[in-house]
Structure 1
Amino acid sequence: MTARRERSPEAALIRKAQLRLGIQMAGAVAAAALVLAAVTLLVVVHDQHRSRDELVGAAIARSDDVGDPPTGVWLVIRSGARDQASPGLPPGFPDEESLRRTAQDGAARSADVVVGGREYYVRTEPRGTDVVQAVLSMRDSHAERVRIVQALGIAGAAGLVLAGLAGAWLGRRAVTPLAEALALQRRFVADASHELRTPLTLLSTRAQLIRRKLDRSAEPDRIRPEVDGLVGDADRLATILEDLLLTADPRGEMPVQPVALTELAERAVEAAGPSAEQRGISVRLDATGPVEVVGFDAGLLRALNALLDNAIRHARSEVRVVLRTEGRSEVIEVVDDGPGIDPAVLPALFERFSSAADSTGDGPRRYGLGLALVSEIAARHGGTVAARTSDSGGTAVRLVIPAR
């Protein structure tokens, strides 16, 4: 039982949803972590620059004695041709160019200088007749940035893992009801198709027995056509049930073969005859010649029957079934002379359960499945279906099937 469930389409759907939601949530967390890291680093760098300027400015302001500068800072005071420097001044300093230019123009200047693979911040200012230069090592600031980046990286990695796990868990919780609904639908279709097989077989058998008895009777011609129609209808119902079973089986593939679409349309028009006659509707077929597609004849017949049933229910006096070839596609257009399509209904015309009871309130409730099935059958054949108001004011439903 467990192995079968794991191989089911529902289990695959759950796994895909888990993976997708996990990746999406991890991506969102990664983006948030990157933004947070960038903002944090900008704030840290800004604070470091402000602290650096305050420290160097204070050191220069109290530069009467170069022997006791703040930690990490070295001072150089140039008085004429004589220099005073803090003990331990790094090799490569002072910055002679900055001292010379500041002594000439009296302008303060700052620069980031790399000496011996280390970065220093150098600020040179005039003070009376002297020039003071402060050198600040940036090693501690860089070390602080590295620690912050490492901490953000560890937190981000942990967040990605947790987000992936949370996304997978949420995906399973979100998709499980959908998977259960799909499994229930498949079971319902399979059970209904299976249970209807037996009475349909009995119906066909009884009709065949009646036909055999009529063959031995004196006047069979009066009843025989109706019995033949009964046998044909039972066979068509059996074929439809086979199609339903194929639809319910997620592992099944549609048995495609060349289908004579013109002959199929003739059968659908003939089958719709009694219903049309009862309503006083004429049904005619307009076909320029034999039309053939590659597909499943039972499914296409179901689509034609549904289109004709819909057209006959709305027609005033006539329904036309037009077959023609357009490029590499075969087009079936069912046109009625009814009142046309309500624009408010058109967007949901091919959705399941989109229709309500008969507009008069006297007819049986309709469940809006016919045109939805037409749309699904068209999609299974790689085609499309659309509806519009015809030039005569009625409704035209256009079914396009690739000829292949």
Structure 2
Amino acid sequence: MVHRARLRIAVLTGVIITLLVVIVGSTASMVMTRAQNEQVWRELRYGAARGDLSSPPGCTWLYAPGVTAPRNGPAGFPVRADLDQVRRTHDAVERTVRRDDTVYLVRTQARADGHVVQAVFDMRYQLADRTHLWYALGVAEAVGLLAAAVTGVVLGRLSVAPLAEALGRQRRFVTDASHELRTPVTQVYTRVQVLSRQAAAADLPAPHRDGLARLVGSVGRLGEVLDDLLLSASLTAGPARRAEHRPVDLVALARSVVAEESDRTRDGRLTVAVDGPPHPLFVDGVESALRRAVGELLSNAIGHTPPGGRIEVALVRVGGGRVELTVTDTGPGFETAEAERLFDRFHRGGDGGRYGLGLALLREVVTHHGGTVAATGRPGHGARFTIRLPEHGPPPTAHAARRPVRTGHGC
């Protein structure tokens, strides 16, 4: 998250500086082009109306009947059609002619003495000035981008540093607090279990036994929350957890998780089917984290499936070198618009059910492993949760891992 924030600040800084350079450059180019055109047209109109036919100003040629055409004039001039039109209508004609890799401004008009004069101006020097301006703007843009990159990196580090420090402190607090609470909570859980068994053996009244049973469940859930917090903190630690990655057989892991939940499924009169290939499907990751993620999916399905329902766990290899694990149940389902919000922490569903940290932690685990998770469902038609993880090659066998040792002499 910190890296994305820094990158976003750098990109936004670069975009802002680039836009400023573009806006300034475009404005300068527009002003320069308009000023040049207005100046040239003013000079051209003056030359056509009052200019000396024998010695026109630079870059300008004047054509009139009975006047010898200039020797250095551009080819294709004068424009005879404009001369004929002015003779007929006595109205001035202006046009722009593109020829010989340049632009000519042409004005044809009748003078006060009745002679029709055509003035031609060569814009090549003005066009060269505009090209030089765009070249300078390109250099300024390159320098601006470099400055934007450096500025963005510096601003990103300076502005995000407090956020990174706060997140680090938060992660350390969660980890330390969870570690400190883990031992006493485990001791309380063990003691409550012992008391619950003693209460059952001593034939205490039913309200007392029910109260101890609820206490056992509450303390157990508290321990699960602490485990979730520890796992979430370890995942956000980043590269420190990477050393624990190893090839994990997702098929065997899913069957193991289903077997661990057999008591709950039997008590809830649920049917759980695992459909997977006979061969392993390996993914690269932390086995304990992946086990927790798959267990959360199965636990979520068990908690939302009514007695007599069915839960299906399917594993398959899909395109793009990925492994897909799907958990489908016959529970009440959920609204389609609610699918993404299910993965928010402590989200409360439309049916009043609260999802706590489980699904949010599930998404953290899957994202940490380079995968994706999605939920689909409809009210009254159950739900389906799909995890996709990058496939990984099988671990090296013990025989392949051993390397022959040469003894003796020789090449």
- Shifted more, 285-294 versus 163-172: the winner is 163-172
2:354 to 366, 378, 400: 366
2:172 to 187, 190, 195: 187
1:21 to 1, 6, 12: 12
Three-state SS of the structure 1 residue aligned to 2:240 is: coil
Conserved in 1, the CA contact under 8 Å of 2:255 and 2:274?
no
**2:343 aligned partner:** 350
Q: Distance in 2 between matches of 1:330 and 1:142?
A: 64
Q: Which has the larger radius of gyration?
A: 1
Q: Distance in 1 between matches of 2:54 and 2:48?
A: 14
Letter in 2 for 1:325: V
Consecutive unaligned residues of structure 2, counting only runs of 5 or more, are: 88-92, 98-102, 195-220, 393-411
Distance of aligned partners of 1:96 and 1:107 in 2 relative to their CA distance in 1, 3 Å threshold: farther
Distance of aligned partners of 1:54 and 1:176 in 2 relative to their CA distance in 1, 3 Å threshold: farther
Consecutive unaligned residues of structure 1, counting only runs of 5 or more, are: 1-8, 84-90, 113-118, 211-232, 360-364
> What is the RMSD of the two structures over their aligned residues, measured on CA atoms?
5.6
Q: For each residue in 1:219-268, what CA deviation from the matched residue of structure 2 results, as whole angstroms up to 9, or x when unmatched? A: xxxxxxxxxxxxxx9x9999877744531322324322233434433443
Q: For each residue in 1:104-131, what CA deviation from the matched residue of structure 2 results, as whole angstroms up to 9, or x when unmatched? A: 979789999xxxxxx9989787766978
Q: Distance in 2 between matches of 1:383 and 1:333?
A: 13
2:236 to 248, 258, 264: 248
Distance of aligned partners of 1:57 and 1:176 in 2 relative to their CA distance in 1, 3 Å threshold: farther
Q: How far is 1:302 from its partner?
A: 0.7
**1:39 aligned partner:** 30
Aligned counterparts, 1:228-307, within 5 A: 243-254=231-242, 255-276=244-265, 280-288=268-276, 289=278, 291-294=280-283, 295-307=285-297
Q: Distance in 2 between matches of 1:339 and 1:203?
A: 35
Count how many residue pairs are aligned between Structure 1 and Structure 2: 347
Q: How far is 1:324 from its partner?
A: 3.4
- Shifted more, 172-181 versus 37-46: the winner is 172-181
Conserved in 2, the CA contact under 8 Å of 1:73 and 1:136?
yes
Given the alignment of the two structures, is residue 341 of structure 1 paired with residue 329 of structure 2, yes or no?
A: no
Given the alignment of the two structures, is residue 375 of structure 1 paired with residue 363 of structure 2, yes or no?
A: yes
Q: Distance in 1 between matches of 2:75 and 2:373?
A: 84
Q: How far is 1:303 from its partner?
A: 1.0
Alignment TM-score, normalising by the size of structure 2: 0.60
Q: Distance in 1 between matches of 2:225 and 2:346?
A: 23
Tell me the percent identity. 30
Conserved in 1, the CA contact under 8 Å of 2:86 and 2:109?
yes
Distance of aligned partners of 1:397 and 1:137 in 2 relative to their CA distance in 1, 3 Å threshold: closer
Q: Distance in 1 between matches of 2:128 and 2:316?
A: 75
Alignment TM-score, normalising by the size of structure 1: 0.60
Distance of aligned partners of 1:351 and 1:125 in 2 relative to their CA distance in 1, 3 Å threshold: same
Q: Distance in 1 between matches of 2:316 and 2:250?
A: 11
Q: For each residue in 1:77-127, what CA deviation from the matched residue of structure 2 results, as whole angstroms up to 9, or x when unmatched? A: 9868xx8xxxxxxx966899969989x979789999xxxxxx998978776
**1:87 aligned partner:** none
Q: Distance in 2 between matches of 1:345 and 1:96?
A: 74
Distance of aligned partners of 1:121 and 1:263 in 2 relative to their CA distance in 1, 3 Å threshold: closer
